[in-house]
Amino acid sequence: MELVQQNPDIAAYLAASEAVDHEHPAVRAVANRLSEEHPGAYAYAEAAFVYVRDTVPHSADAGDPRVTWRASDVLEQRTGVCYAKSIAYAALLRARGIPAALCYQRLADDDGSNPVIHGLVAVLLPGERTWARQDVRGNKPGVDARFSLKGERLAWVVRPEFNEVDYSVLYTEPHPVVLDALRAAPDRSSLWRTLPTEL
């Protein structure tokens, strides 16, 4: 699949915003610590991936009712669903001048029912010609996502026979239907009833 930039200007994938608030002290603190330990761009991108994947539990796995959507809140509160964790990872990448995009899949149950949008991040490291999608959702039995530039290691591979989709667009900001769902939900159980099913 060919990934397509929503904005042709690569600088748009380095910008800070209300959600991808990489200028926030909480984001900067994590970025500074990780970059001291992993000074190269590749090493830093992988370390930030592992940090978000492994130290910020997916709220459904942890039974956490809180809903986060700003990168700083995700990192401070140490909780979030896939969308929120992706926002946090994008912010950590941008904090070190690494272009990061938000991107998505539509997944479904084994019979094709109950479709839901799943959040990913795409990274463009120095010297690379193509974006590489990463999945910081968090591993669990049956899910083994890894940082990789040479072949995707996502939590799930889409199954077209069940109407699952890899969306090709690389967004500079969280998709509006995703961000609206996060911001409107008072808790995770409410969010679960309003998760977007398509973009």
Stretch 86-112: mean pLDDT: 97
User: What percent of the chain stands above pLDDT 90?
Assistant: 96
pLDDT band per the 50, 70, 90 thresholds, residue 72: very high
Give residues with Cβ within 8 angstroms of 145, minimum separation 6: 53, 134, 135, 136, 137, 139, 153, 154, 155
User: Which amino acid belongs to residue 141?
Assistant: P
Evaluate whether 187 touches 65 at the Cβ level (below 8 Å). Answer: yes
Stretch 23-49: mean pLDDT: 97
- 9, with CB counted inside 10 A (0-12, 13-18, 19+), is exposed
Question: Tell me, what's the pLDDT at 192?
Answer: 94
Mean pLDDT of the chain: 96
Stretch 8-16: mean pLDDT: 98
Question: Tell me, what's the pLDDT at 1?
Answer: 85
Question: Tell me, what's the pLDDT at 92?
Answer: 98
For tokens 């990913």, what's the residue? Answer: 120
Question: Tell me, what's the pLDDT at 81?
Answer: 97
Please check the confidence at residue 85 and state whether its pLDDT lies above 90.
yes
CA distance 153 to 146: 5
Evaluate whether 59 touches 81 at the Cβ level (below 8 Å). Answer: yes
Question: Tell me, what's the pLDDT at 56?
Answer: 97
Please check the confidence at residue 126 and state whether its pLDDT lies above 90.
yes
Question: Tell me, what's the pLDDT at 65?
Answer: 97
pLDDT band per the 50, 70, 90 thresholds, residue 135: very high
Paired sense of beta strands 169-170 and 4-5, if any: parallel
Stretch 117-124: mean pLDDT: 98
- Residues 151-181: tens digit of each pLDDT: 999 999 999 999 999 999 999 999 999 999 9
Stretch 130-148: mean pLDDT: 95
Q: What angle do CA 21, 107, 183 make, to 5 degrees?
A: 35
- The pTM score is 0.97
Question: Tell me, what's the pLDDT at 131?
Answer: 98
